[in-house]
Amino acid sequence: MKVLFVINPKSGVQTDNLLDDLIQQQAELSRFDFRTYKMQENDEEHINNLILEYQPDRVAAAGGDGTVNLLAGLLVGTGIPLLIIPSGSANGMAKELDILRVDQAISLLEDGVEKAIDVVKINDIISIHLADVGVNARIVKRFEADTRRGILTYARHLFGEIFLMKHYKFYITYDGKEIKRKAVSLTFANASKYGTGAVINPKGIIDDGLFELVIVKPFPDIKLLSIAWKMFRNKLHTSDYVEVISCNTADVRCNRRTTLQVDGEVIGKVKEFHIEMMHKSLKVLVPTKSLD
């Protein structure tokens, strides 16, 4: 077996020495050949060429959700399983798959199982976790510009953004229906929760052939803590200010350009979105319990 490890040295958690040791130990235990590549700027094409040249049986992505997204985009439809090694600031997709530690992730090369999961395409951009426009996308943009990392930094930007919250009008077509909604946030959700543990999409199942549009409507400031509590209690769908729509394709138009973030990476400002489901198009390595 051949394994290609793609490591983002700028991820939120510095695990280089630990990771190198664990890779070497696992390679000796499982008797596999491996190569390691340390990411640089704008090297997607280089990584793709490396995959084509090395022909790995499995590819491991060590970093945050942005790193995972990049590798997922290269592996969709290839049949090559992706191993997610959680070494970013929040590691939302890793948590979705019950991969909680670096050592646990590496061990999946020995005892993990393959699982085919869905991928969502938004304006030809791949998302395997969560994408959104509105308040969270702007928080991610502020977070990217901050030299500090971690959940506390994210929380600081969250509360800073709350007081500048903007309202948008969204015109949505799905399953032959047309609706109009005023919202502060619109999430295109394949998964269920952010890396912080906040559940934005209680209906999220990553292999059911559906994604969810999670619409957070304008709410009074006094309701902020109530909504946050519901998110961390997996009860957001019970809020009067939240609407969840399941579908496999949708077209969305916003009344003005707004920031789009996909799997923790800011894409830029857009006004129209075409979203479609790519059912079970990516294989990932997961613990056995994730199949339950």
The pLDDT tens digits of the residues spanning 193-234 come to 877 777 889 889 999 999 999 998 988 878 877 877 887 788
Is-same-fold flag (2-119+282-291; 125-279)? no
CATH class of 125-279: mainly beta
pLDDT tens profile 276-285:
999 999 999 9
Q: Using 50, 70 and 90 to split pLDDT, how confident is the model at 88?
A: confident
Domain range summary for the chain, segments of one domain joined by +: 2-119+282-291, 125-279
To the nearest 10°, report the CA torsion of 144, 10, 38, 19.
-130
Predicted pLDDT of residue 262: 93
Q: What does DSSP assign to residue 149?
A: -
pLDDT for 167? 86
Q: What is the pLDDT of residues 158-188, one digit of tens each?
A: 555 565 567 899 999 998 899 999 998 899 9
What count of other Cβ atoms lies within 10 Å of the Cβ of residue 147?
5
Mean of pLDDT over the chain = 87
Residue 189's Cα: distance from chain center in Å? 9
pLDDT at position 165 is: 62
pLDDT at residue 232, as a whole number: 77
Question: Is pLDDT above 60 for 83?
Answer: yes
Give the max Cα distance, the chain. Answer: 58
- DSSP type of residue 238: G
Superfamily name and number for 2-119+282-291: Probable inorganic polyphosphate/atp-NAD kinase; domain 1 (3.40.50.10330)
Q: Which of 20-24, 46-50, 150-154, 168-172 is predicted least confidently?
A: 150-154
DSSP assignment of 201-225 equals -TT--TTSS-EEEEEE----GGGHH
Provide φ and ψ at 99, rounded to 5°.
-105, 105
pLDDT at 228: 74
Distance in angstroms (rounded) separating the CA atoms of residues 126 and 277: 10
